[in-house]
Structure 1
């Protein structure tokens, strides 16, 4: 079956849907009283969005946030976990849209191998043109902006250490595989079907998996391969936010500061200069972590030929899929996601039925 190719091993998170929403979900007026300078200094800033940043003054909905998961190895930084987070006009409801790493798109700069010319390729290729994040980042953002036309009010990057540190703060998070899955990493742990509590290492291992989501039912339910990985990642975000809320991190100013400081250099943000982290916390205090909705980009597995080799991709096909995708980008920009989800329920991802079907033949184990 096409479309079962990989995602980065660190595809742990996109945690700024944490980084912002955690800072804000369930926060109370007490947040406004803790030292603003402490909060500001806890989170480094950088220019992430470039010309994809929306022009804004006051904090009001709707808001669109671009989250990039990054992998820092030595002097090299790359990203191919990309999430669009939308908060509605009332600042009460959050929707996450994960861009499949194998989504076939137009990329403005395809790197030295393409004479730095535009090309069509998997979206994660936009993040591989250079080991220099200052070169790669604007290419990734421009690729996403060209694809969606969405302007973002906030941007964030987060790396592997940020996720591990945050899970460690709460001890364990709940994850619910819809069928048994065996890890292809390390000790090749088997994760049973159903909900269980997992520590930082186990949860990271589980949400890295993609090859195990290869049952026939996975593909029938739209959760095969990388789609399954996305579903588990989004579970992890919601579960982590819920755990922080239950442990009082989101209503205790001191604990809230611990979350921000817990990210360390693992989180950077791009926000309007006029906006403080404290103001964000107060304005977004009514978001409920358990009400976050997950949306899949209208697309299905496919294959194409590149360099004489057949490769697996994910593609938004002409016709109904393209119409739904175009409408999704418009809905993000115009805050009409409620209408879009009513008209396109097949692309709205909610916890599905667990499956007892026999696994289809799986791919050979490979490294990420």
Structure 2
């Protein structure tokens, strides 16, 4: 999204072709999760995964903190960021040496080995759960994202309740405030000190994406080519993408009308439940309706009918 905003102000085609090589390419989608079309007609569904590790990294503890389905209805003028709860109880299919079984959805990336194979197992799990076939996927490196936020000059985040970081000695006080990359990523990864727990964390992550998109549109990139170069390189270096055969240039051009004002944050209707002394999130009946809306053309109608689960960013 920040890449989109940055390129939009200075000429999409020229810069997209210049910086496309900075983005790592991998096949992040499993065959069962991949859309069978290679065009941008109709709704677009993208899988966005946030992780501390990039494809090619090995080792334990490669769970992902952020799983988002980015749904853009036909017309490409509005977008919905659907946050999938990290503790959602799902059936993970066999893959990458994992025999399959029930567990929290954020373990699918770990069971797949992280990186490309982890993303494939996660995408197969989501496709099985939702029936959605994705037009592309992106794996975002949190460390690289911190650098992007700093190059933007920070972002404005509005804190609703006081939050004590479990990672640092920071205390986030209520009110709108400017945050640098380290502060913003620390804030949006908190969940234990929030009234709504992980649901609040999901909203904060959605708000961060909106804040980054807004900030990128505000910066004077056209008159600062050095800063533009650094920003786009940082964005590209923080991404690993699977565009399903569509050039990044065409993807950005198709979505250049999106802005922070046209984005909506969506949470999956669900509830917390303890099973065998383990805390999970369990899908509600409304979650099936959400996935059906994302698969088809009725997401705006679903959002209007379910305001509890929708936030304008």
TM-score normalised according to structure 1 size: 0.77
2:310 paired with 1:302: no
Alignment RMSD (CA, Å): 2.5
What is the aligned length? 308
Q: Which of 61, 68, 79 is 1:83 aligned to?
A: 68
**Does the aligned pair in 2 maintain the 1:98–1:297 contact within 8 Å?**
yes
Aligned in 2, Cα 1:325/1:146: closer, same or farther, shift over 3 Å? same
Which structure 2 segments of 5+ residues have no match? none
Q: Residue by residue, what CA displacement relative to the aligned partner does 1:45-71 show, whole Å, maximum 9, x if unpaired?
A: 110112212122332331000011122
Query: In structure 2, what is the equivalent of residue 292 of structure 1?
Result: 263
User: 1:28-47 residue pairs with structure 2 within 5 A?
Assistant: 28=8, 31-47=11-27
Equivalent of 1:313 in 276, 280, 301:
280
> Compared with structure 1, are the counterparts of its residues 117 and 286 closer, same or farther at alpha carbon in structure 2 (3 Å cutoff)?
same
Of residues 169, 185, 189 in structure 2, which corresponds to 1:204? 185
- Matching of residues 162-241 of structure 1 within 5 Å: 162-186=144-168, 188-213=169-194, 218=195, 224-241=196-213
2: CA distance, partners of 1:251 / 1:132:
40
How far does the alpha carbon of each residue in 1:212-245 deviate from its partner, in whole angstroms, 9 at most, with x for none? 10xxxx3xxxxx1111111111111111111100
Asked whether the 8 Å contact 1:64–1:152 carries over to 2, the reply is: yes
Greater RCO (CA < 8 Å, at least 6 residues apart): 1
Residue 118 of structure 2 is matched in structure 1 by 136
* Alignment match, 1:15: none
Question: Does residue 23 of structure 1 match 2:6?
Answer: no
Alpha-carbon distance in 2 for matches of 1:123, 1:291: 29
- Measured after TM superposition, the shift of residue 137 of structure 1 is 2.4
Of structures 1 and 2, the larger Rg is shown by 1
Distance 1:35 1:300, change over 3 A: closer
Partner of 2:301: 339
**Match for residue 247 of structure 2?**
276
**Structure 1 spans left out of the alignment, 5+ residues:** 1-20, 219-223, 352-368
Q: CA deviation at 1:183?
A: 1.3
| TM-score of the superposed pair, with normalisation by structure 2 | 0.89
